[in-house]
Amino acid sequence: MSSNWTVPGEAAPPERHPEAPAPGEPIPEHWHGCFGCRGTGDGGLGLDVSAGTGAEVTGRIVVDPAFEGGPGVIHGGVLSSVFDEVMGFSAKLLAVEVVTAHLEVDFASPVPVGSDLTVRARVDGVLGRKLYASAEVYVDGAETPAGSAQALFITIDQAVHFRDLVGNSTRI
């Protein structure tokens, strides 16, 4: 896996919020209508995300047959969504709301349908409203990642950011 991604040298280390969930505790959904937060029975990913130390989180998901892309493997767009969502959850440990500005994914090996995925993600640096994050995905407890991702998130005020868009939702 290779990338040209770098966190700017002037970015500050992330500061975990004192009221963030303790390591090992689940991180609650940010909105009931979110594709990443909803269970598979409700048409979502069915992710379980728990807090780690610092600004790190661990996400777990079983690759549902509905997520199949090529024969017997997860669709790359679904795996990209998993990365995006788990990295976004890491921002919750800083007590900020974010949206994705840039997402870069490297696929290293196929991820079979039915496999149990562990995604380890973290905020690597903060620069103003920008949060730089990274993650790796592991299949069925393997030691070598099957893929990795890097992302740039922007902090937002949800009421302002979604003000003119909320009318488009069928889940309000």
* DSSP string computed for the chain: --------TTPBPP---TTSPPTTSBPPPS-TT-TTTS-GGGTS---EEEE-STTEEEEEEE--GGGB-STTBB-HHHHHHHHHHHHHHHHHTTT-EEEEEEEEEEE-S--BTTPEEEEEEEEEEEETTEEEEEEEEEETT-SS-SEEEEEEEEEE-HHHHTTTTGGG-S--
pLDDT of 171 reads 64
CB contact at 8 A, 69 and 79: no
pLDDT class of 1 with cuts at 50, 70, 90 = very low
pLDDT value for 47: 94
Weakest-pLDDT range from 7-16, 32-41, 141-150: 32-41
Q: Rounded to two decimals, what is the model's pTM?
A: 0.92
Q: What is the pLDDT of residue 163?
A: 64
116-141 pLDDT, tens digit each: 999 999 999 999 999 999 999 999 99
Identify which has the larger pLDDT, 66 or 159: 66
Separation CA 47–CA 55 (nearest Å): 18
- Which pLDDT does position 38 carry in this prediction? 83
Question: Of 31 and 6, which is predicted with more confidence?
Answer: 6
Spatial CB neighbours of 143, under 8 Å, sequence gap ≥ 6: none
Give the tens place of pLDDT for each residue, 61-117.
999 999 999 999 999 999 999 999 999 999 999 999 999 999 999 999 999 999 999
Q: How confident is the model at residue 44 (pLDDT cuts 50, 70, 90)?
A: confident
